[in-house]
Structures are given as C-alpha cells and as structure tokens.
Amino acid sequence: MMRKPTDDDSEKMMRNFKLIVFLTVVIPIVALTLFLEMRFEAIEDEIQFLEPGTRDAARTDLDALPWHPVQGQTLYAPAYSHIYHQSGEPRLLTVTLSARNTDRDNDIVLTSVRYYDTSGKERRSLVEKPLRLGPLASTEFVIEQKDKSGGSGASFIVEWKSGKPVNVPMVETVMIDTSNTQGISFVRSATVLEETKARVEMARDESAPTDTTPSDESVSEQNN
C-alpha cells in the first residue's frame, strides 16, 4: 500500500515548488532587469552634452551676422532651478533650455541667451558668439541641478534673428529631477517680449495705406 503523505511531505513539496518558481521566474526577471539597466546606462553615457557651437555643421558659432536681420524676437522663458514641496522644503531641479528652428528652408541665429535669477539679476550669458541653427536644427543649454543661483523664479532672455521671413522657433524650458523614488518633470514655453525692430517697421510699411490723392502737378497736366 502507498504511504499517505504527511504534513512534512506537503511542506517539503511546497518548499521545492517555491524553489523551482524562484529559479525559473524570479532570477531571470532580476537578471533581465539588471541587463536593461546596464544597457540604458551605456546608452546614456554615449549621449554626452556638448556646448553650443561645438556640435555639427547645422549648429555653429558665427563671428557676425551674415545678413541684415529682417525678422526676430526677444523671448522670455521661465525656469525653476528649484521648487518647494511638503512644508516648504526646496527640491533642486536640472533645467534645460531648448531652442528649435521650425523652418524647413532657412537658418536662424541665436544672438543672445542670458540667464537671470529670481531677483531679475543677470547671472551669466550662455553664448559668446551668435549661434546659427540650420533648418530644423535645435540646441540646448543646461543649468545643472547643483546650480542654485537661479532660484524658483529664474528665467532666460533669448534673442534670435533671421535674414528672411521664417517660421518662428520653438523655445521651451524643461525641468526635471529623478534623484528621489518619485521623479518630477515639467515644461514651460517662452513668451514673446518684443519683435525685432526691422521686422516691425517692414510690417508697418506693408500695412500702410497707399496715398492715391493726385498731386498738384498731375492735376495741372490734366487741366492743360
């Protein structure tokens, strides 16, 4: 006759079952997770931040503007080097200013990118020379997380110009922090402060009514 399984036998079988599950399911999942994490870290290491003007032919420094500007803007882009949470504790953020040329045919030039703190004081200029962006090219400027000089009310003033009428660029700031178990990120778009004077004057000339009143000389010729 077959021996009836005892409680010890049942417990032994359960332990063996759990061991099999651990070896066939848990360990492969952990190994896969570690592999993916190492792979992502390797990819991130390959994507190094480069200073503007040292990247490629579509994003280069200029000694001077290659044309007389006919269009341009001065933009205000809000930034947050830290925000407050819980009982007013600061949380430091990394700030990326992104500038994108949305025109498919023409260049634009960033003539000035300045970083200001919460008090409205200029902290530094982020471009030493005019920076050309080719069609559909983009560039970025990074304020590191450890840089607390800007504060919660930091901002960028960005000036751009073009030698032909173009689609206006897209300028945004991206704030992010992944140091805690719960990450945070958000985006803010730039606001136009003023249009380039040359563009405004050209628009006024185009919209000005044409004077159709005949001159005294032409009236005199008609009477004769």
Q: Which of 199, 204, 212, 127 is nearest to 168 (CA)?
A: 199
Q: Are residues 100 and 119 in the same domain?
A: yes
Q: Are residues 111 and 196 in the same domain?
A: yes
Per-residue pLDDT, 36:
65
State how many domains the chain has.
Answer: 2
Domain-embedded: residue 210: no
- Tracing tokens 């994507």 back to the chain, one arrives at 47
Q: Kindly report, residue by residue over 67-95, the tens digit of the pLDDT.
A: 999 999 999 999 999 999 888 889 999 99
Domain-embedded: residue 35: yes
Q: Kindly report, residue by residue over 101-114, the tens digit of the pLDDT.
A: 999 999 999 999 99
Dihedral angle of Cα 119, 178, 138, 166, to the nearest 10 degrees? -60
Q: Are residues 97 and 39 in the same domain?
A: no
Q: Which domain holds residue 127?
A: 54-204
Instruction: Look at residue 197 and give its three-state secondary structure.
Output: helix
Domain-embedded: residue 172: yes
Q: Which of 113, 157, 152 is nearest to 133 (CA)?
A: 113
Within the chain, strands assigned E span 54-56, 59-61, 71-78, 82-85, 89-92, 94-100, 108-116, 122-125, 131-133, 138-143, 155-162, 170-177, 184-189, 191-195
CATH number, domain of 59, equals: 2.60.40
More confident residue, 65 or 196: 65
Q: Are residues 86 and 145 in the same domain?
A: yes
Q: Are residues 64 and 143 in the same domain?
A: yes
Q: Which of 122, 109, 125 is nearest to 73 (CA)?
A: 109
Q: Is residue 77 a contact partner of residue 126, using CB atoms and an 8 Å limit?
A: no
Dihedral angle of Cα 186, 96, 42, 91, to the nearest 10 degrees? -60
Domain-embedded: residue 59: yes
Domain-embedded: residue 216: no
